[in-house]
C-alpha cells in the first residue's frame, strides 16, 4: 500500500506521471493518526489546460473505436480492481479514515459500477424518426459529448470518481478528474493507474490534483469540457452551476442531503433501530444520504429511543484498521470542530443529549440529541458526522410535514408493517429517492440516483447516465429532390 502513496503522488496528464509546477503542495494526511502519506505539488492553470487538450485530442479516435473494443478496457479494469482489492482497501482505510466495513462497501459498489460500464459501452442506440416530408429520412444519433470534467468528494472518493469517470469513458468521452485535496490518491491517481494498466489510450483520461486557491474557476470555465459532474456540498454546487450556466455547460450535481428515517406506529422496532443506526453512523455519518433526523411516532417513541440509544452506545470508536471499529475519524479537524459546534448549539437551544460524545482531534464520538426546538436551523441543514436528532411526531401528516421542512431532498426511509402505507408515505416526500423498510444509504448501477431541491440537478446510473454524458444529433437525408418555395 505504501508504494501507492509514493508512486501515485503526481499529476497524470497526457499519459505521463509527473509533478505539478504550482508553488505549493497538497499534503495528504491519515485522518486517524495524522501520518503524512504523500505530498503532491499542485497543478497550475496551464496544466489544467494541458489535461483538457490532451483529453480532447485522444477523444475523437476513442469515440470512433468499435464499442466492443472499448468494452475490453473496462473488463480489464474490473479484473485489476478485484486482484488489488485488499491493498486498495488498506489505502481507503488510511487516506479516508474509513472502517473496514466502509471500505468493503465502497469497493463492492465500485465493482458494480465498472460491471455496468462494460455494458454501457454498447448501450447507445440511434433511431429513425418519421417525417411529414416525402422522401425525408430522419436519423437520430446518440453521440458522446466530447470531454467531461469530474470533481469528486472526500467521503467515498474512489467510488464517486469511478461512478462518473467509468461511464463517461465507456460512452466515448475523454475525461479530466479533479479529486478532493484530502483524498488525492483514492479519489484520483489510483483511478488513473487502474485505467492505465487496463490499456486505456494514453491522454484520454487525466487527473489534476489542485485547488481553487491555485486555479480559481479554471477547471469549470475551460472551453473544452461540455459537461461538469460535481459531487459535494450545495454551497459549492451552487457556484459550479452558476459558472457553468454562464458558459453554456451542462452539469450533473450530486449535492448534500438532510435525510430522515421515519418509524411509523406499526413498524418492527428492532429492525427499524438497526436501519436507523446504520443510516446515521455509516462512515461516521459522512454520507450525503445519511439519516440526520430519525422521526418516531410518539406512541412508540419511548421504546424506540431506549433501544436506539442502547445500540448507539455499543458502537466501537477508534482505529479504522481494527475490524471491530464502527466509528473512525472524520476527515479533518475543521469537520470535527463543526460537529462539536452543532452539539453545543443544540444544547444551548434547549436540546437534551441522550448520548453526548467527546471530540478529540478528528475522533468524534456519537451524539444523540432529543428535544431540539422545531424551529431550529439545525434540523434543516446537513450534519456531516455522527450526530443525530430524534424527533417525535403525531400521525403521518405531521411526519410528512417535518420531513419536507428542509431545503434538501436526496434520500430517506420509512418503516411500517404495511408496504403500501409506506409507498404512499414515500410518494408525499420531496426527494429523489426514498426507501420502504430499509436504510437511507443506497446506490445501485441501474437505478436513477439524485436529489431534488438543494440536493442537486440531474441523475446518474442506468439510462440517466446516457442522458448525462451523451447528446443527441439529428441528421436528415432527403431521398429525391426537395421542393423550395423560392
Q: Give the model confidence (pLDDT) of 35-89 as tens digits.
A: 999 999 999 999 999 999 999 999 999 999 999 999 999 999 999 999 999 999 9
Q: Are residues 156 and 290 in the same domain?
A: no
Across 291-314, average pLDDT:
98
Q: Are residues 306 and 210 in the same domain?
A: no
Confidence tier at 3 by pLDDT (50, 70, 90): confident
Q: Are residues 249 and 302 in the same domain?
A: no
8 A C-beta contact, residue 315 and residue 273? no
Task: Evaluate whether residue 483 is within a structural domain.
Answer: no
Q: Which helix (H) or strand (E) holds 415?
A: strand 412-415
Per DSSP, the three-state class of 393 is strand
- Degrees, nearest 5: CA angle 47-121-86: 70
Query: Of these residues, 196, 244, 288, 396, which one is catalytic?
Result: 288
**Would you state the torsion angle of the CA atoms of residues 260, 275, 450, 70, taken in this order, to the nearest 10 degrees?**
170
Q: Are residues 182 and 316 in the same domain?
A: no
Q: In what order do the strands lie in the sheet with 387-393?
A: 352-355, 367-370, 387-393, 291-297, 259-263, 412-415, 435-436
pLDDT at 1 over 90: no
Confidence tier at 2 by pLDDT (50, 70, 90): low
For residue 80, the number of C-alpha atoms closer than 13 Å in the C-beta half-sphere is 18
Q: Are residues 48 and 108 in the same domain?
A: yes
pLDDT at 397 over 90: yes
Task: Evaluate whether residue 480 is within a structural domain.
Answer: no
- Please, what is the angle between helix 269-281 and helix 301-312, to 10°? 50
Across 183-205, average pLDDT:
98
Contacts of 342 (CB under 8 A, 6+ apart): 378, 383, 385, 387
Q: What is the reported pLDDT for 483?
A: 87
- Measured on CA atoms in the order 90, 187, 73, 12, is the torsion positive or negative? negative
Task: Evaluate whether residue 450 is within a structural domain.
Answer: no
Q: What is the reported pLDDT for 357?
A: 96
SS3 content of the chain, % helix, strand, coil (to 5): 40, 20, 35
Task: Evaluate whether residue 482 is within a structural domain.
Answer: no
Across 251-260, average pLDDT:
97
pLDDT at 188 over 90: yes
Task: Evaluate whether residue 245 is within a structural domain.
Answer: yes
Q: Are residues 34 and 83 in the same domain?
A: yes
Please provide the average confidence, as pLDDT, over all residues in the chain. 97
Q: Minimal CA–CA distance to 31: which of 105, 113, 109, 92?
A: 92
Q: Are residues 162 and 302 in the same domain?
A: no
Range of the domain at 195: 2-255+455-474
pLDDT at 466 over 80: yes
Q: Are residues 95 and 243 in the same domain?
A: yes
Q: How far apart are CA 153 and CA 283, in angstroms?
A: 14
8 A C-beta contact, residue 189 and residue 12? yes
Q: Are residues 423 and 463 in the same domain?
A: no
| Placement of cell 444551548 in the chain | 348
Instruction: Report the number of distinct structural domains present in the chain.
Output: 2
8 A C-beta contact, residue 149 and residue 229? yes
8 A C-beta contact, residue 311 and residue 273? yes
Task: Evaluate whether residue 410 is within a structural domain.
Answer: yes
Query: Of these residues, 254, 382, 452, 463, which one is catalytic?
Result: 254
Active site residue 46: no
* Residue 247, domain CATH: 3.40.605.10
Q: How far apart are CA 389 and CA 410, in angstroms?
A: 18
Q: Are residues 219 and 128 in the same domain?
A: yes
Task: Evaluate whether residue 443 is within a structural domain.
Answer: no
Share of the chain above pLDDT 70, in %: 100
Q: Are residues 48 and 185 in the same domain?
A: yes
Q: Give the model confidence (pLDDT) of 423-447 as tens digits.
A: 999 999 999 999 999 999 999 999 9
Active site residue 244: no
pLDDT at 343 over 70: yes
* Residue 420, domain CATH: 3.40.309.10
Q: Are residues 197 and 324 in the same domain?
A: no
Task: Evaluate whether residue 283 is within a structural domain.
Answer: yes
Across 200-217, average pLDDT:
97
Amino acid at each position: 500500500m505504501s508504494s501507492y502513496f509514493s508512486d501515485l503522488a503526481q499529476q497524470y496528464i497526457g499519459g505521463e506521471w509527473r509533478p505539478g509546477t504550482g508553488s505549493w503542495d497538497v499534503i495528504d494526511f491519515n485522518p486517524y493518526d495524522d501520518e503524512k502519506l504523500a505530498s503532491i505539488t499542485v497543478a497550475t492553470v496551464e496544466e489544467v489546460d494541458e489535461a483538457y487538450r490532451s483529453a480532447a485530442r485522444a477523444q475523437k479516435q476513442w469515440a470512433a473505436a468499435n464499442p466492443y473494443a472499448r468494452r475490453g478496457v473496462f473488463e480489464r479494469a474490473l479484473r485489476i480492481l478485484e486482484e488489488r482489492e485488499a491493498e486498495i482497501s488498506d489505502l481507503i482505510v488510511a487516506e479516508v479514515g474509513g472502517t473496514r466495513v466502509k471500505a468493503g462497501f465502497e469497493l463492492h459498489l465500485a465493482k458494480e459500477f465498472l460491471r455496468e460500464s462494460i455494458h454501457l459501452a454498447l448501450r447507445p442506440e440511434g433511431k429513425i424518426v418519421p417525417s411529414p416530408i416525402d422522401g425525408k429520412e430522419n436519423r437520430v444519433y446518440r453521440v458522446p459529448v466530447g470531454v467531461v470534467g469530474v470533481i469528486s468528494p472526500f467521503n467515498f472518493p474512489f467510488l464517486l470518481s469511478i461512478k462518473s469517470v467509468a461511464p463517461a469513458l465507456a460512452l466515448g468521452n475523454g475525461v479530466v478528474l479533479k479529486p478532493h485535496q484530502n483524498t488525492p490518491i483514492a479519489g484520483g491517481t489510483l483511478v488513473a493507474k487502474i485505467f492505465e494498466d487496463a490499456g486505456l489510450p494514453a491522454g484520454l483520461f487525466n487527473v489534476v490534483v489542485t485547488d481553487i486557491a491555485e486555479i480559481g474557476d479554471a477547471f469549470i470555465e475551460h472551453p473544452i469540457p461540455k459537461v461538469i459532474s460535481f459531487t459535494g456540498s450545495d454551497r459549492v454546487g451552487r457556484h459550479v452551476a452558476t459558472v457553468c450556466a454562464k458558459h453554456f455547460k451542462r452539469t450533473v450535481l450530486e449535492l448534500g442531503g438532510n435525510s430522515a428515517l421515519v418509524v411509523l406506529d406499526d413498524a418492527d422496532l428492532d429492525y427499524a433501530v438497526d436501519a436507523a443506526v446504520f443510516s446515521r453512523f455509516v462512515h461516521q455519518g459522512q454520507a450525503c444520504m445519511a439519516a440526520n433526523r430519525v422521526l418516531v411516532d410518539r406512541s412508540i417513541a419511548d421504546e424506540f429511543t431506549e433501544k436506539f440509544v442502547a445500540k448507539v452506545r455499543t458502537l466501537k470508536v477508534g482505529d479504522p484498521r481494527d475490524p471491530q471499529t464502527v466509528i473512525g475519524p472524520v476527515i479533518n479537524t475543521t469537520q470535527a470542530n463543526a460537529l462539536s459546534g452543532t452539539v453545543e448549539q443544540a444544547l444551548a437551544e434547549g436540546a437534551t443529549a441522550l448520548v453526548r460524545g467527546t471530540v478529540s482531534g478528528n475522533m468524534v464520538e456519537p451524539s444523540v440529541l432529543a428535544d431540539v426546538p422545531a424551529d431550529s436551523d439545525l434540523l434543516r441543514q446537513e450534519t456531516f458526522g455522527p450526530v443525530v436528532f430524534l424527533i417525535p411526531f403525531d400521525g403521518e401528516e405531521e411526519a410528512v410535514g417535518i420531513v419536507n421542512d428542509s431545503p434538501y431532498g436526496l434520500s430517506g426511509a420509512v418503516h411500517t408493517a404495511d408496504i403500501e402505507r409506506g409507498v404512499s408515505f414515500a410518494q408525499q416526500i420531496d426527494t429523489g429517492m426514498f426507501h420502504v423498510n430499509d436504510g437511507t444509504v443506497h446506490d445501485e448501477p441501474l437505478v436513477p440516483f439524485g436529489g431534488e431541491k438543494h440536493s442537486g440537478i440531474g441523475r446518474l446510473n442506468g439510462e440517466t447516465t446516457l442522458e448525462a454524458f451523451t447528446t443527441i444529433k439529428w441528421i436528415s437525408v432527403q431521398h429525391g429532390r426537395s421542393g423550395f418555395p423560392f
